[in-house]
Amino acid sequence: MKQRIDGGDDLDSLNLFLPFVKRAMKNQKIFLDSARKYGTPQYILDEDFLVDNVREIKKNFSKDIVGFKLFYAFKSNDLPYMIRLLKEEGVNADVSCMFEMQLALKLGFEKIIYTAPYKSLQELEYAVNSGKIIINIDNVDEFNALCSLCKRLKKSASISFRIRTKNNNWKKFGITNSEFVKLANVAMKDPLLNWTGVHFHKSWNIDAKSYVDGLTEIADCLKENFSHEQLSRLKFIDIGGGLLPFESISVEDGVEMPCSIKQFSDVICSAVKKNIFEKLNINPEIWLEPGRLISSQATSILLTVKATKESESEYIVDGGTNLLGSPMFEEDYFPVVNISAPSEKLTIGKINGPLCDPADHWGKYYFGEKLKNDDLISVLNMGAYTFSTAWRWQRAIPKYVTFSARKGKSVIVKDEESFEDRYSGCKI
Ligand SMILES: Cc1ncc(COP(=O)(O)O)c(C=O)c1O
């Protein structure tokens, strides 16, 4: 479903957000208490939602695939406390840099895959020395660097290959089928390299098509180029992340509605059965490594209205788009609710942040009664690519609070950035 929205005419599309608004209304007291207790701005994590959502993903994918394993892309939100909760739910680690590798090891993850278009020698060495991080090879030069490193260290490395499937235009990432076949043959002859898996990833999927295409292409390539005995040694096929968790509404692309987790899993699982279990007659684990599907909906941002420009219906709140790392609301719509006086009514009024930049705003619409000073605002679905990409600009990265209604718990799990944090390492 695609439908244009031009910022004024098609406000009906925003009613797609009503289910999120209703959930925020249920949390009204928790949000008000949290703002009173810890202050705003704050990121706030709903632990119960996070856990239920992960269980739902695992349940749907595991029902048809015994060897299904869920990984979490740390890059989408690297809040250590949240990642620990995910680990307790049996989720594994998908990391993309030194900090994330260190965090995964510190949190005690056993299954860790490391994917990035560039990995420094220091990072490769760290991964090899860990003895448990699987290095997902992105390019030929990286493969050669790793071969030399293993020789120098006299240590072995577990590797997989990131294949750029034909439906993926992002040439920056991964290798072609023919490069993969060449490198895998070299790896099989190298006693220090343990080829354990293949991987592909395509971002931003509203349905299962790219997973079906990727699985079909990779299975055909494997069947054509490797013996059954060679393929039987593969421990996993990693089909990446990229499942869109909720409707995206943007000025440019209109409305993009993703299918449900069940619809994704039904189609993907049958493609796995057909291509991997039947066509190749092998039984590797199937790894899925979403980021936003796991992290986005569980976190909201709480802000307080500090000034009203009555004549323009404009407001200024105490947190800005430095919390996000990009001026997302210039192009996209997210549900914003007046938590002090919530309702399902859409009200017009532009909510600006405190940064010295006109692009620093939270959109021109919100659900609820007309705002006034000291009202609390909740911006919903703010858990993915926000905290982890937050800008170091002007104002502090705020605190992160977590709550569980089931456990009657609310606690700060990351302090607000201080002057010392900001200028750490700087000569003054
Ligand atoms: C290799 C890889 N895996 C997983 C992800 C997570 O993607 P998403 O958050 O869209 O699920 C990304 C995102 O960039 C990625 O590059």
Of all residues in the chain, the percent with pLDDT exceeding 70 is 98
Pocket test for ligand 1, best of 75, 202, 261 (most atoms within 8 A of CB): 75
Token pair, residue 378, equals 């909740």
Secondary structure of residue 108 in the 3-state scheme: coil
Lowest mean pLDDT among 100-104, 119-123, 167-171, 270-274: 167-171
115 CA closest ligand 1 atom index: 1
- Measured in Å, residue 420 CA sits from the centre of ligand 1 at 32
Give me ligand 1 centre to Cα 228, in Å.
30
**Which residue of 76, 238, 287 sits with most ligand 1 atoms within 8 Å of its CB, as the best mutation to test the pocket?**
76
Pairwise CA distance, residues 104 & 12, whole Å: 43
- Nearest CA owner, ligand 1 atom 10: 242
Rounded-to-integer distance, Cα 123 and Cα 153, Å: 14
Average pLDDT on 122-131 reads 98
Average pLDDT, the chain: 96
Whether 291 is in the pocket of ligand 1, judged by its Cβ within 6 Å, is yes
| Centroid of ligand 1 to alpha carbon of 370 (angstroms) | 38
Share of the chain above pLDDT 90, in %: 93
**How far are the Cα atoms of 164, 267, 290 from residue 94, in angstroms, in the given order?**
18, 23, 9
Ligand 1 pocket, 115 CB below 6 A?
A: yes
- Asked whether the predicted pLDDT for residue 5 surpasses 70, the reply is no
SS (H, E, C) 17-80: HHHHHHHHHHCHHHHHHHHHHHCCCEEEEEHHHHHHHHHHHHHHHHCCCCCEEEEEEHHHCCCH
Distances (CA, A) of 108 to 241, 295, 414, 416: 22, 20, 20, 26
Residue 291 has pLDDT above 60, yes or no: yes
pLDDT of residue 4: 46
The residue-averaged pLDDT of 102-125 equals: 98
* Residues 31, 37, 39: CA angle, nearest 5 degrees: 80
Q: Is 193 in the pocket of ligand 1 (CB under 6 A)?
A: no
- Judged by average pLDDT, the poorest of 4-18, 97-111, 164-178, 407-421 is 4-18
Answer whether residue 3 shows pLDDT above 50.
no
Check whether 8 has a pLDDT greater than 70. Answer: no
Q: What is the pLDDT of residues 200-245, one digit of tens each?
A: 999 999 999 999 999 999 999 999 999 999 999 999 999 999 999 9
3-state secondary structure of 195: strand
Q: Is pLDDT of 1 > 80?
A: no
Question: What's the mean pLDDT in 40-50?
Answer: 98
Q: Which residue's CA lies nearest to atom 4 of ligand 1?
A: 241
Total-model pTM:
0.96
User: Quick one: pLDDT at residue 9?
Assistant: 46
Strand partners, 198: 161, 237
State the amino acid at position 153 in one-letter form: L
Q: Give the ligand 1 atom nearest the CA of 244.
A: 10
Burial 30-54 (b: 16+ CB within 10 A, else e): bbeebbeebebbbbbbbbebbbebb
Q: Place 10 in a pLDDT band, splitting at 50, 70 and 90.
A: low
Compute the distance between CA of residue 173 and CA of residue 117 in angstroms, rounded to an integer.
6
The residue with tokens 């994917």 is 115
Protein residue whose Cα sits closest to atom 14 of ligand 1? 203
The answer to whether residues 251 and 331 touch, using CB atoms and an 8 Å cutoff, is yes
Give the mean pLDDT of 376-397. 98
Token pair belonging to 65: 């695939």
Q: Is the pLDDT of residue 321 over 60?
A: yes
Q: Is the pLDDT of residue 256 over 60?
A: yes
pLDDT of residue 13: 86
Ligand 1 touching residue 242 (CB < 6 A): yes
| Cβ atoms of residues 24 and 334 within 8 Å | no
Does the structure show a pLDDT above 60 at 91?
Answer: yes
The residue whose CA is least distant from atom 5 of ligand 1 is 241
Shortest-distance Cα residue to atom 16 of ligand 1: 201
Please indicate whether residue 241, judged by its CB atom, sits closer than 6 Å to ligand 1: yes
